[in-house]
């Protein structure tokens, strides 16, 4: 009986954890992805809001490739209510192949969640459309603090077609950097 319970618990936890590293419906990660070219600083242009980013402006992410093939993720944003910078450091790894834009990222120990690059500027790596494990998580990232209206329009059109709620997008202010 105890063995059966433990096996069920392990199976449940495995399903729970792996479910957070899956792909949303209608989302396919980019291929020919280069982490070497993706690393560096990215500005958050738009997002679907969540508690871990609520009230933050001037949000950036910095990705650094580690010798073991993992990635150090350093996120920061300015908390307008508290008038101070908020920072978080995590680690990312590829879910499968290192040339597919599907990674898993963790800011809390062994618990990972999907980071899916599903559209990007493959020539110059200047913008990226990123999803989580479902359509509640979405970001538009750019190498610059602003993007053209044409890029914003394409982002909205693309994410609507893939089932995201584009009416709930937060357009992030990018006017102060430490």
Is the distance from CB of 77 to CB of 61 less than 8 angstroms? no
Residue 91 lies in a domain: yes
Look at the pTM and tell me if it is higher than 0.85. Answer: yes
Residue 176 lies in a domain: no
pLDDT greater than 50 at residue 150? yes
In the prediction, which pLDDT does 178 show? Answer: 62
pLDDT greater than 50 at residue 8? no
Query: Helices (H), strands (E): how many in the chain?
Result: 3, 9
pLDDT greater than 80 at residue 7? no
pLDDT greater than 90 at residue 5? no
Give 135-158 as a DSSP string.
TT-EEEEESSS---HHHHHHHHHH
The percentage of the chain sitting over the pLDDT mark of 90, rounded to a whole number, equals: 84
Q: What residues contact 105, with CB distance under 8 A and at least 6 apart? A: 73, 90, 91, 92, 112, 113, 114, 115
Domains in the chain: how many in total?
1
Residue 53 lies in a domain: yes
Residue 178 lies in a domain: no
Q: Are strands 56-65 and 102-108 parallel, antiparallel or unpaired?
A: unpaired
State how far the Cα of 89 lies from the Cα of 108, in Å rounded to an integer: 9
**What CATH number does the domain containing 52 carry?**
2.40.128.20
Residue 23 lies in a domain: yes
Is the distance from CB of 154 to CB of 56 less than 8 angstroms? no
Among 15-29, 51-65, 104-118, 159-173, name the one with the lowest average pLDDT.
Answer: 15-29
Q: How confident is the model at residue 109 (pLDDT cuts 50, 70, 90)?
A: confident
The percentage of the chain sitting over the pLDDT mark of 70, rounded to a whole number, equals: 88
pLDDT greater than 90 at residue 18? no
């Amino acid at each position: 009986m105890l063995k059966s319970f433990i096996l069920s618990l392990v199976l449940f936890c495995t399903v729970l954890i792996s479910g957070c590293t899956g792909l949303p419906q209608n989302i396919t990660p980019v291929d020919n992805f280069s982490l070497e070219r993706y690393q560096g600083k990215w500005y958050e242009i738009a997002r679907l809001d969540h508690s871990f980013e609520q009230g933050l402006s001037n949000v950036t992410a910095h990705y650094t490739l580690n010798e073991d093939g993992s990635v150090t993720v350093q996120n920061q944003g300015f908390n307008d209510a508290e008038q101070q910078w908020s920072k978080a450091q995590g680690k990312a790894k590829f879910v499968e192949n290192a040339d597919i834009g599907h990674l898993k990222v963790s800011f809390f120990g062994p618990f990972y969640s999907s980071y899916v690059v599903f559209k990007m500027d493959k020539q110059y790596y200047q913008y990226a459309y990123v999803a989580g494990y479902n359509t509640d998580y979405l970001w538009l990232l750019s190498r610059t603090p602003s993007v053209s209206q044409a890029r914003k329009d394409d982002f909205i059109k693309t994410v609507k077609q893939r089932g995201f709620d584009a009416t709930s997008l937060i357009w992030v202010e990018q006017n102060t950097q430490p």
